[in-house]
A and B are shown apart, each in its own frame.
Chain A
Amino acid sequence: MRKTLLGSVCAALGLLLGPIAAHAQAEIDHAKAAKEFEKFRAEMEDSNPAELNELRGEELWHAKRGPKNVSLAESCDLGLGIGKLEGAYVQMPRYFQDADAVMDAERRIVWCMVEKQGFKFEDIAKKPFQGPNDTSAPDITNLVMYVAGLSRGKPFAVDLKHPKVREVYELGKEVAQYRAGPFDFACNTCHGAEGKRIRMQDLPKISTKEGAAKAVLGWPAWRMTGGVALTMQWRMNDCFRQQRFPEPKYASDTITALLTYLTANANGVIYKGPGIKR
């Protein structure tokens, strides 16, 4: 399995480097390059290296772990009841009464690890994302991958009728348009209009269903750059880096608010599971 995966990864990189080399020479057709990339990405997602993360996440979900020696499978409710995971990912962020908070999937799993298994939040938050030199992803990333995989083929369905979810959605909308920092950037500076690009990178307009779908589909993802597994928490973190902001705290309200805004805007779109990003 691993061999097949590596094979397809190498083939994919070859395909990817093709257009990059050509662009150094001269002519490049942006639309064509983007289309080619989409095509090979779709092919690659049939044997996504993220499957390994999903499998590892499944083991972790069922293992008795932490100071309390409890499994998430027997203790963690992702909104549909303890142990019920199918379709849970696409319905988050959602309001959780036991925590009296709206939480996105990753934040909710962290909450369960802390409250049910007895892990310390600070220990998880110390290094929540896989770095370019790390050979494996953090447990929390693998857990998110597993949970996300169990929503494949289901439509995003964030419950905006719930007043608390609605409020967090509105806060996320405000965060998206908040300009600050040395370059006066907001999320919407890059993601507020149709058909824009930074260099070669297409920028979805996140207030539309289509744009929001482009932002949330394919996450969590196996990222070719560095060969790492990353979640939406990481994606938001790195957007703020490029926005020249300070660093958002891991699993904070601001990130949940943005994820509520993005995911709810994509409501109705079919989620295809963990994806592959460049």
Chain B
Amino acid sequence: MNPKIVFATLVSAAGLSAALPAQAEGDYRAKAIEMIKRDFKPRGQAGLDRLAEDGVQAICNRTGNNPKGDIVKVLEADQMASIQWPADGKLMGDWKKGEALAQSGRGFTWSDQPGLPVGGNCYNCHQIGPNELAYGTVGPSLLNFGKLRGNSPEMQKYVYAKIYNAKAYNLCSEMPRFGRVGALTPEQIKDLVALLLDPASPVNK
């Protein structure tokens, strides 16, 4: 196991006693986790290791996604430190590739072929380009994202980091940590940055 994850789990376990809700709820949670560990079997690429909580998941699960205190800043900083930046220092790639990636919702399920590129899953939850009308609403609309915010180096860094690891900014964000878990490569994330920030991208037209 990744030492960072172990560390985070320890920190969260130590810092949580104050935040724990009533005893009964804790009992149900412990029993539920025991039950979950009994009731699944590995299939395809989805092994039983996926049932274990890492530090971030543990603290979010135990606080109803609303942890409090300094520990939140510490754990967010851990997530930020995990971000791998592109070797060439450039953060904007090809928005056309980014659009194709944003469309794809595949990857990581037991029915997906292991090793095939994982999709960005972006349209599942976000409005992005003006031409795709079958978009989800779990996340905020990103239409005109760059038009409204510009594409300064800071903005590029923010978007890259947010896609790489959304938990670096909001520990219990609903958004997956695409770079952190190896779903998307730095090159792919650069293409998604371009989709949102490139003035030539339809998102900003």
Contact = CB atoms under 8 A, between A and B. Distances in A.
B138 A247 contact: no
Contacts, number: 131
B35 A253 contact: yes
Contacts of B28: 167, 170-171, 173-174
Contacts of B52: 180
A20 to B, nearest CB: 9
Interface string B172-198: 001011000101000000000000000
Contact of A184 (B36, B57, B134, B135): B57
B113 interface: no
Given A184-B56, A198-B136, A241 B109 contact: yes
B133 A241 contact: no
A4 interface: no
A185 to B, nearest CB: 8
B176 A183 contact: yes
- Kindly name the residue among B38, B50, B111 whose own CB sees the greatest number of chain A CB atoms within 10 A: B50
Contacts of A245: 40, 46, 50-51
Contacts of A174: 28-29, 31-33
- Kindly name the residue among B29, B42, B47 whose own CB sees the greatest number of chain A CB atoms within 10 A: B29
B40 A171 contact: no
A235 B15 CA distance: 37
Interface in B122-172: 123-125, 133-138, 167
B110 A247 contact: yes
Given A23-B134, A174-B28, A199-B134, A244 B109 contact: yes
A contact patch SS:
mixed
A16 interface: no
Contacts of A196: 136-138
Interface residues of B, number: 45
B138 A180 contact: no
A178 B61 contact: yes
Contact of B36 (A167, A175, A189, A195): A175
Contacts of A136: none
A118 interface: no
A180 B50 contact: yes
A241 B110 contact: yes
Interface string A254-272: 1101000000000000000
Contact of A247 (B32, B40, B53, B60): B40
Nearest to A251: B39
Given A28-B133, A182-B183, A242-B109, A249 B40 contact: yes
Contacts of A41: none
Nearest to B167: A184
Given A178-B61, A180-B53, A254 B137 contact: no
A199 B124 contact: yes
A69 interface: no
Nearest to A241: B109
A199 B35 contact: no
B138 A183 contact: no
Nearest to B40: A246
A245 B123 CA distance: 21
Interface in A162-197: 167, 170-171, 173-175, 177-186, 189-190, 193, 195-197
A134 B75 CA distance: 49
A252 B40 CA distance: 9
Given A28-B133, A174-B29, A178-B33, A183 B108 contact: yes
A197 B177 CA distance: 20
29 contacts: A23-B134, A26-B133, A27-B133, A171-B31, A178-B32, A180-B52, A182-B108, A182-B176, A182-B183, A183-B183, A186-B61, A196-B138, A197-B136, A198-B138, A199-B135, A203-B138, A240-B40, A241-B46, A242-B109, A244-B46, A245-B46, A245-B50, A245-B51, A246-B40, A249-B39, A253-B39, A255-B39, A257-B32, A257-B35
Interface of A: 23, 26-28, 167, 170-171, 173-175, 177-186, 189-190, 193, 195-201, 203, 240-242, 244-249, 252-255, 257
Interface of B: 28-29, 31-33, 35-36, 38-43, 46-48, 50-53, 56-57, 60-61, 64, 105, 108-111, 123-125, 133-138, 167, 174, 176-177, 181, 183
